[in-house]
Amino acid sequence: MKQSVKMIVGNWKMNGLTADLGEARALTESLSDAPASCRVALCPAATLVAQMAWALKGQGVEIGGQDCHAEPKGAFTGSISAAMLVDAGARLVILGHSERRQGLGETDSLVAAKFETAVAAGLEPIVCVGETLTQRETGQAVPLVTAQVLGSLPDAAASHAFAVAYEPVWAIGTGLTPTVAQIAEVHEAIRSALVQRLGPAGTRVPILYGGSVTPANAGEILQVAEVGGALVGGASLKAASFLAIVRAAEPARVAADAQG
């Protein structure tokens, strides 16, 4: 299913100090001159969520967290709860990013538990899935990603707004990207898994692509069937490059590019 309104989400990861809020402000200044006709969001580090939400309030850019705890509250030193993100002004939350799955051992079932806690607090999760290079080279990309989608969503997911982000681990921060055919193959498999898991609600879930998206490749990637937007790391840190990706996602531009 083609999404008519694309979703472009910036993931600042462990980057960004107060001084860098100027980049977020520069983004909204450009968008106030020519409002985006797609959904735009930024997910800064937890320390900047409240400040960024305040600075960009009412300016068409949604704010998200990069993770939340699976429990709604309690003795979890150093963790952030879903309600804390909402309280700070976030509307979205990235869950199961490969940097957490690989570096911190997060499993599909933990991601599904975080999903339940996040939606109960009013957040819209972006559930990340993706294969490693070895998994791709051994023909496991589609079955692995399908299993991650099926395992990372709770039974109640059909009643909630959320997105899935396909992020091949080998494409994140490397400058490498899958071919358009590889992206299409995995996105179609994710769509099938969503319909299998959620029924008709699975046809409406946006499936984002993430992994070395830049202004140079965004136009081509965003017109692939079933690509409903992009999750952008490095290129989201500067207003100019993130804005160029946002512009590439606007319906008129996507339609024009598709016609060649």
Distance of CA 165 to the CA centre of its chain: 5
3-state secondary structure of 9: strand
Binding span for ligand PEP by CB under 6 A among 47-55, 112-120, 182-190, 205-213: 205-213
Q: Which of 228, 234 has the CB closer to ligand PEP?
A: 234
Question: Could you confirm whether 187 is annotated as catalytic?
Answer: no
State the minimum distance, in angstroms, from the CB of residue 172 to ligand PEP: 4
Q: Kindly report the backbone phi and psi dihedral angles of residue 56, in degrees, each rounded to the nearest multiple of 5, phi listed first.
A: -105, 10
Cα torsion angle, 246, 252, 253, 257, sign: positive
Contacts of 86 (CB under 8 A, 6+ apart): 121, 122, 123
143 contributes a contact to ligand PEP by CB under 6 A: no
CA angle (110 as vertex; 192, 137 as ends), nearest 5 = 55
Question: Could you confirm whether 160 is annotated as catalytic?
Answer: no
Q: Which residues pair with 10 in a beta bridge?
A: 42, 232
231 contributes a contact to ligand PEP by CB under 6 A: yes
177 contributes a contact to ligand PEP by CB under 6 A: no
The 8-class DSSP code of residue 206 comes to -
Q: Which of 70, 96, 94 is nearest to 9 (CA)?
A: 94
153 contributes a contact to ligand PEP by CB under 6 A: no
State the minimum distance, in angstroms, from the CB of residue 156 to ligand PEP: 26
State the minimum distance, in angstroms, from the CB of residue 233 to ligand PEP: 2
173 contributes a contact to ligand PEP by CB under 6 A: yes
212 contributes a contact to ligand PEP by CB under 6 A: yes
Q: Which two tokens stand for residue 182?
A: 């590889």
Catalytic residue among 23, 62, 97, 226: 97
State the minimum distance, in angstroms, from the CB of residue 72 to ligand PEP: 26
Residues that bind ligand PEP in the complex, under the rule CB under 6 A: 11, 13, 167, 172-173, 210-213, 231-235
Active-site amino acid positions: 97, 167
